[in-house]
Amino acid sequence: MDSSETNGPRSGSSREPLELLRPNPPKERADAARNREKVLAAAARLFADKGVDAVSMDAIAADAGVGKGTLFRRFGDKSGLAVALLDAREHDLQERILSGPPPLGPGAPATARLTAFVDAYLTYLFAHLDLVRMSETASPGARHRIGAYRFWHRHVSILLAESHPHADPSPLSHALLASVSAETAGHLRQEYGEQRARQAIMTLTAAVTTA
């Protein structure tokens, strides 16, 4: 495993603090912080009531009581809002990976931790599918540029390197994570229902972890 793969979440008791993987945002002025919270609250409410696709940035700005320029400067577009709304949910899962109980957290064999991660990630994904899809498909390759994806990839790579020492963990991690993209998992859920979609992805994970 190359040196770049040794700086992320580790199995067992050796791990790097989450803050180094997910730096704290710069300090904001009080008014900017209030506007940010108003925008996120408005976006969450409108997305829940009307669906992500039906809500415009103009509607979010109006509901939040901020100017459109403020909204676009801060978040760029709806995909930027999606990333911000998902941040707390992703942070919770990251914390459980780094310091929660096994098998998701440290202390279990790598294969068990990998299975637990995919299962936990699917729960998160299906609960926020529209937002995750928007954040991942805003532009070509957007999914792989998201900080959270880099965290998932590093975590899975480390577990694969531990459980499959003769494999090439980085591309194998990308291949496995492709099965839990919002587009792929969402299509499986639409086509076959959530239970069958989850079962298919967990079967694929088992095949990887036991190969």
pLDDT at 109: 96
Distinct helix (H) and strand (E) counts, the chain: 12, 0
Residues 8, 98: Cα–Cα separation, whole Å: 10
Answer for the pair 137, 143: CB distance below 8 angstroms, yes or no.
yes
Answer for the pair 159, 11: CB distance below 8 angstroms, yes or no.
yes
SS3 186: helix
Token pair in block for residue 175: 């291949």
Residues 68, 26: Cα–Cα separation, whole Å: 22
pLDDT by residue for the chain (211 residues), tens digit each? 333 333 334 433 334 443 434 545 556 677 878 888 999 999 889 988 988 888 999 999 999 999 988 898 888 888 888 888 998 889 999 999 999 999 999 999 999 999 999 999 999 999 999 999 999 998 899 999 988 999 999 999 999 999 999 999 999 999 999 999 999 999 999 999 999 999 999 999 999 988 7
Answer for the pair 46, 53: CB distance below 8 angstroms, yes or no.
no
Answer for the pair 154, 9: CB distance below 8 angstroms, yes or no.
yes
pLDDT in tens, 54-78: 899 999 999 999 998 889 888 888 8
Terminal-residue alpha carbon distance, the chain: 19
Residues 63, 74: Cα–Cα separation, whole Å: 16
Answer for the pair 71, 61: CB distance below 8 angstroms, yes or no.
yes
Residues 84, 107: Cα–Cα separation, whole Å: 31
CA-nearest of 36, 118, 122 to 83 is 36
Report the interhelical angle of 68-75 vs 57-64 (nearest 10°). Answer: 110
